[in-house]
Structure 1
């Protein structure tokens, strides 16, 4: 069975404050033009997307330099129950971790249920100790069902310790995943970004199967 882990791209969907708003409109229509074509205006971090190192790291890899094999394979799903708005998820909250984890780790909080609500911006975040532990045990790709593993609502200058840790190690971050709480602890996933030349990030279609 295939489980779609992707949020639909819709006009006016929630984005990180300051990011481009999403606009979707008909450019051509069948009655008037004989074909239907949709015009899209969106940022590279729209909806379910992958952050490449270039998002934060000067000279870091861009999306077009990411090998698709990095985003396809076995994943460990860590389900964190009863998280609170803005909660910092420490390593203890992740439960018993294996000594080695697969390269792809997905943290399931269920926060995708708040998509389109103001509460989506007040999502839980990952503590540095949790991220460092996962990286030490083999994580290369971090996936979350929130807008970010770092706080979204914060004043400048931005503090993005999770991004700095993962992207600084040439890893990848997948944000705005959906339905992670429906998955078993071990799954196979495929997360394929648009091939944006020089892109700091790109929307993806993400799926899981057992």
Structure 2
């Protein structure tokens, strides 16, 4: 069975205020065919952060290793948790390569500054555990008033970050994941399609 955990990308999708512009789609009829023009941020909708997003280096989204984005993945249901700490994760991530956090925010359509996020000690713990990819169903892996330290801790250690997933229809458990960004040369992130399967993806 396949689960598409990508949020539908529309003009009214929730955006991170103060940074991301409202996306604009325009479809043109050229007689024999249709052609659509898009205006949106690299961090609109379900997306993957490149290291350059916070480290401001040359590690752009087209250079993110696909091996971190394809393979075994564990979905953890953290319920009503908002600040996800090391204590919330201890004992749940052993033998996991990639982690996706399902919270109360899955399926929400309006921005809430109190969205679920990782604390710095949780991010450091995931690095210690050798996690190669972490995803969350909220607008950011880091708190709304964060200083960037959670992003930098993960990205500096080559942990891929996926944000604004929709895990509302996915039970907690182990899956296989394929999460691929557009190959946007030199850019800091990209919208992505993220698929889970209960069988190996081949």
Q: Return the TM-score normalized by structure 2.
A: 0.90
Following the alignment from structure 2 to structure 1, what is the Cα–Cα distance between the partners of residues 152 and 119?
12
2:94 is aligned with 1:96: no
Show the 5 A alignment for 1:115-134.
115=109, 117-119=110-112, 121-134=113-126
Please identify runs of 4+ aligned residues in structure 1 that moved more than 4 A.
Answer: none
Corresponding residue number in structure 2 for 1:200: 188
1:34 to partner: Cα distance: 2.5
Measure, in 1, the Cα distance between the counterparts of 2:44 and 2:37.
15
- In 2, the alpha carbon distance for the partners of 1:98 and 1:3 equals 21
- Please, what TM-score do these two structures have when normalized by structure 1? 0.86
- Between 1:88-97 and 1:47-56, the stretch displaced more is 88-97
Tell me, yes or no, if the aligned pair for 2:22 and 2:40 is still in contact at 8 Å: yes
Q: 1:112-162: per-residue Cα shift (whole Å, max 9, x none)?
A: 2212x243x43021112222112211112110010001123x3xxx61221
In the alignment, what sits opposite 1:185?
173
Q: Let me know the Cα RMSD of the aligned residues.
A: 1.8
Gaps of 5+ in 1: none
> 1:80 is matched with which residue?
78
Aligned length: 197
* Residue of structure 2 in register with 1:44 after alignment: 42
Q: For 2:37 and 2:152, how far apart are their aligned partners in 1?
A: 34
Q: Which runs of 5 or more residues in structure 2 are unaligned? A: none
Equivalence for 1:8: 8
**Alpha carbons of structure 1 residues 99 and 4: separation in structure 2 relative to 1, 3 Å:** closer
Q: Deviations over 1:46-92 (max 9, x none)?
A: 10010010101132411111232220000122210223xxx311122
SS in structure 1 at match of 2:107? helix
Alpha carbons of structure 1 residues 55 and 98: separation in structure 2 relative to 1, 3 Å: closer
State the match for 1:20 in structure 2: 21
State the partner residue of 1:111: 105
Check the 8 A contact 1:106/1:144 in 2, yes or no.
Answer: yes
Task: Specify which structure has the higher proportion of helix.
Answer: 1
Structure 1 residues 118 and 193: CA distance shift in structure 2, 3 A = closer
